[in-house]
Amino acid sequence: MAGRKDQHGDSTRAVAAGRSKEWTGPVVNPPIWRASTHIYESEADRKAALSNNKDGQFYYGRRGAPTQWALAQALTELEPGAAGTVLYPSGVAAIAGALLAVLSPGDVLLLSDNSYEPSRSMGMGLLKRMGVETRFFDPLDLDAYRNLFCERTKCVWLEVPGSLTMEMCDVPELARIAREKGAICLIDNTWATSLGFPALQHGCDISVTSLTKHISGHSDLMMGAASAGEKLYRKLRITSQQLGQVVSPDDCALALRGLRTMPLRLERTMQSALQIADWLATREDVAHVLCPMRDGDAGYELWQRDFSGGCGLFSFVLKAQDEAARARLVDNLELFGIGYSWGGFESLALPFDVSRIRDAMAWPKPGWNSEDRLGVRLSIGLEDPADLIADLDRGFAAMRNP
């Protein structure tokens, strides 16, 4: 049965994942179990539960109930190599929970320079206070990365593609070097999800995902997850229990609902994103399109080699424009909202300039005109791509004619 399941396509796997009869009963979806107290049959039962911290066992609300267990189980089934998944109240909580599970005072963390800004802040803030030293590295420079390891290097944090700037790095090689040096490799795999990039199969030890993005898909909940093999999963679980991390069963039911349609949404938004990226690349006022799924992008070869899917998230950089011009562009979009997050059914535009959130990687990039530095990240939703292109065209017209 397990062998056959593994051979199924992504959509089939996303429909079947976590739907064990034990959680669902006779209905299609697991019911929403709202519960703090779990009532025991007897004192002997209570004692048995106390001494046994296993998954999928009633104990007390902080360890969840079948709605949470079904979602965790679904995510584990979709991540080849995972023994279990811990759910967190946000993606950032998952990042913090995973790092706290493996780091101790005195350890060194190597953090990919193009990581999501809150991951960088975790390194410079809480982890620093805890006595962990964070060193930023350029994930495209393997030699510099190799030379950064020392006796105390406990783990490496990757994110692919890079936050906002969308660089593809060679994850299997970065993970292989980490392993050779005795370090644990963690990855923020929110962009591709385990369907587009099975991170544990590519050498990573812990895969972290913000479920707020593609798994929810509807901009109506916040949650995160971390999946790992048996040993590290136990550490994640214990640490999250000690931190008292819980997620609501209502949100889990929404996340499970989102999961069923995720492969469809990823495919559609990726195709729309490619159309829009091609259109942007033809424009005079666009200096660079940063989209690793697009032939000709610096990351395209690695994406083709390692990934089986993408999504609607990519960026572009304006040619020699100032912030006022960029504001005219985004303010005049009608179909794109200006906002954080991504992966919802609605399109979003987010202006960015990463000059102040990079230590080891130059911005603008080497070889670029120094005036080309203001970017816009687009999260392409489920609207018709022709309408989105017309909307962007309006925005560009407003940018050029104040």
Q: Which helix (H) or strand (E) holds 158?
A: strand 153-159
Binding mask 171-190 for ligand PLP (x = CB under 6 A): -----------------x-x
Q: In this chain, which stretch among 88-96, 140-148, 236-244, 247-255 interacts with ligand PLP, using CB under 6 A?
A: 88-96
Q: Known catalytic residue: 220?
A: no
Three-state DSSP state, 317: strand
Distance CA 65, CA 34 (A): 8
- Reading the block at residue 386, the tokens are 């022709």
The nearer residue to ligand PLP, 223 or 399, going by C-beta atoms, is 223
Is residue 379 part of the contact set for ligand PLP (CB under 6 A)? no
Least distance to ligand PLP from the beta carbon of 37, Å?
28
Place of tokens 């703090």: 36
Give which of 24, 8, 7, 16 is closest to 260, Cα–Cα: 16
Is residue 167 part of the contact set for ligand PLP (CB under 6 A)? no
Distance CA 350, CA 362 (A): 21
Q: Known catalytic residue: 146?
A: no
Q: Known catalytic residue: 188?
A: yes
Is residue 239 part of the contact set for ligand PLP (CB under 6 A)? no
Number of residues that bind ligand PLP (CB under 6 A): 14
313-318 sheet: strands from edge to edge: 286-290, 313-318, 375-379, 348-352, 337-338
Residue tagged active-site, from 62, 128, 152, 305: 62
Binding mask 316-355 for ligand PLP (x = CB under 6 A): -------------------------x--------------
Three-state DSSP state, 261: helix
Q: Known catalytic residue: 62?
A: yes
The nearer residue to ligand PLP, 159 or 391, going by C-beta atoms, is 159
Residues 102-121 within binding reach of ligand PLP (CB under 6 A): 116
153-159 sheet: strands from edge to edge: 84-88, 224-228, 206-210, 184-188, 153-159, 108-112, 133-137
Three-state DSSP state, 286: strand
Three-state DSSP state, 209: strand
Give which of 250, 210, 245 is closest to 226, Cα–Cα: 210
Is residue 219 part of the contact set for ligand PLP (CB under 6 A)? no
Least distance to ligand PLP from the beta carbon of 300, Å?
20
Least distance to ligand PLP from the beta carbon of 151, Å?
30
Residues 143-162 within binding reach of ligand PLP (CB under 6 A): 159
Residue tagged active-site, from 13, 19, 116, 233: 116
Q: Which residues belong to the active site?
A: 62, 116, 188, 213
Binding site for ligand PLP (CB under 6 A): 90-92, 116, 159, 163, 188, 190, 210, 212-213, 222, 224, 341
